[in-house]
Amino acid sequence: MTRTKTGKAINATALNLEGAKTVGVDVAEIYARTMGISAAWEERQAPLISPIMTITPFIGGPLVGKAFVVAILGGLGGTMGALPEEWLWDWPSRSVSFFFLFRYTRRRSDLSCSSSY
């Protein structure tokens, strides 16, 4: 986001729309590229989340809430503050989920093995 020409243009458009237009950034193209990047990321992540969440029209509610908290705590003015905040917010929830999933799976397998004798 800070080293490529497209990344700098995305940051410039996010920070100051009029300033980006003034220096020659094609804002419509940047919006289209940003939408394409976010759609590509969503396309890659949807198959990963579908086994653990029920697919409904309202699936985005909890995810949008999490994204809102990350954007507010990480800051809306820059992109570099949101990434560490996302890791800080997401790693504990993933760890707890993995821990309970592992314990539930182990107990369930113990029950099925003990009934075989």
pLDDT per position as a tens digit, 41-53: 888 887 887 787 7
> Tens digit of pLDDT for each residue in 5-59?
999 999 999 899 999 999 999 999 999 999 999 889 888 887 887 787 777 777 7
Q: Which pLDDT belongs to residue 48?
A: 82
Half-sphere exposure of 78 (CA within 13 A, CB side): 7
Number of domains in the chain: 2
> Tens digit of pLDDT for each residue in 91-117?
777 777 666 666 655 555 555 555 444
Considering the domain architecture, whether residues 79 and 117 belong to the same structural domain is answered as yes
Considering the domain architecture, whether residues 113 and 80 belong to the same structural domain is answered as yes
Q: Which pLDDT belongs to residue 20?
A: 93
Considering the domain architecture, whether residues 72 and 88 belong to the same structural domain is answered as yes
Residue that terminates a domain, selected from 51, 70, 91: 51
Considering the domain architecture, whether residues 41 and 70 belong to the same structural domain is answered as no
Domain carrying residue 79: 55-117
Burial class (CB in 10 A: 0-12, 13-18, 19+), 98: exposed
Considering the domain architecture, whether residues 35 and 63 belong to the same structural domain is answered as no
Q: How far apart are CA 64 and CA 50, in angstroms?
A: 16
pTM: 0.48
